[in-house]
Amino acid sequence: MSPEPSAPARSTRAREFRRILAEMLKIDRVRGGLVVAADGLVIAASLPRGVAMEPLAALAATLGRELEVGGDRLKRTAFQAALFSADNGTVFLGSSPVGFVVVLGDREVNVGLVQWQLRKALATLEGAWGTTVQVPARPEDM
């Protein structure tokens, strides 16, 4: 059913997800975020008041899957990260073996900084699965 587990410290994953989310929430103008599995299960979440968790998680997981599956259909390489901006803010989405990391920023959020931090977070998650991902040293290098 599953690929061979390769992570040395799987029992700490839940803590790692919460830590990653907490780091993202420290960024100025970031209003919330969640870690959601590909099936829509919320693993960790912190959302602004008035934003319901389950519907957002279901939509974010659906979006992540479309980016994975649709890209695959078009013979593109694996989707890594995305951002979608509206008049009042931006949704950032990163793909990882556990599912998707979602970050909500308001309209003044530093997009480059969040993208860089998200890449770092995703690399940490990849590391928890036993693979290594290179992340630029600074946001400007992305």
Partner 1 sequence: MDLLKFLGRIWDAVTSLTRPPNAATLFRRADLYRQEGRFEEAADLVAQGMRISPNNGVGHLLSAYLHLAFRQIDPAKSEFHSVLRLDPYHPRALLGLAKIALEERDLVACRPYLDKALQYYPDFPEARALQEMVVGWSANAVPAAGAPTFMGPALQIEKLRPPASGREFVLTQTDGTLVFSQHGDKDAEDLAAHVTQVYRIASATLQRAGLGQLRRGIVQAATETSFYRSNDRLVLAMTFPHDVKIGFGQLETDKLWTNSLRELGVRA
Question: What minimum distance in Å lies between the beta carbon of 56 and partner 1?
Answer: 5
Interface with partner 1 by CB under 8 A: which residues?
A: 1-5, 10-11, 13-14, 17, 35, 37-41, 43, 48, 50-52, 54-63, 65-71, 73-74, 76-91, 98-99, 104, 112, 142
Round to whole Å and give the CA distance between 54 and 9: 28
- Residue closer to partner 1 (CB basis): 6 or 26: 6
CB of residue 18 vs partner 1: minimum separation in angstroms?
A: 10
By the 8 A CB rule, do 118 and 24 touch? yes
Least distance (Å) between residue 131 CB and partner 1: 13
CA nearest 81: which of 129, 136, 12, 2? 136
For 88, the token pair is: 């009042």
Contact 44/50 with Cβ under 8 angstroms?
A: no
Select 2 or 26, whichever has its Cβ closest to partner 1.
Answer: 2
In the complex, least distance from residue 26 CB atom to partner 1, rounded to whole angstroms: 19
Compare residues 71 and 127 and give the one whose CB is closer to partner 1.
Answer: 71
Burial of 99 (0-12, 13-18, 19+ CB in 10 A): buried
Q: Pick from 109, 118, 96, 136: which is nearest to 7 by CA?
A: 96
